[in-house]
Amino acid sequence: MKRTDTLLLLGDSLVEWGDWPELLPSIRVINRGIAGEHVEDLAARLAGELATIPDPDHILIMAGTNNLLMGNRFFPAIFKSMLPRLSSLCPEAGITLNSIMPMSLPGLRLETEEINAELQDVARQAGCLFLNMTDPFTEQCLPITKPCFLTDGVHLSTLGYQVWANEIRRHLTMSC
């Protein structure tokens, strides 16, 4: 991805709180993350949001964490209608659906794995790409000595953002 290319990031607090100019200095990033947002909220604001952004080259969506934390595991169905709509609104943009991060909360591991499998299938069916963060976090993060999450088990640490940014960069290089 060239510096003149634009990466639009859509999603929740994980997107909003990232220092993307520092994390991805060679990419022009437009950060449209909103803390606390659910997938249905993102779907509702999608067209209006895109009207303010001139033709992004790539769009990465990281949403669903708040849905999962509130016990709503049916949000992949919203992506089934949102991704084709997004493709029609931005036909020239590459679209990537990011996995739910492998949060370190008790009882969510299996549920997160199942949701990520669903999200990967939804992305494939919509002709979009999927960025799975489970392996990079498993390989590069350790709960005590190299934590990728803050003490709440949901939000990313500095290392977590670095791991994510490196994977985004690698993903964009391979897909562009």
Stretches where the chain sits below pLDDT 70 are: 1-4, 176
CB 143 within 8 A of CB 104: yes
The whole-number pLDDT of residue 3 equals: 45
Per-residue pLDDT reduced to its tens digit, 57-87: 999 999 999 999 999 999 999 999 999 999 9
CB 154 within 8 A of CB 105: yes
The whole-number pLDDT of residue 26 equals: 92
- Cβ neighbours, 10 Å, residue 51: 9
Beta-bridge partners for 30: 8
pTM: 0.94
Domains by residue range for the chain, with CATH: 6-175 (3.40.50.1110)
What CA–CA distance (Å, rounded) separates 147 from 160? 7
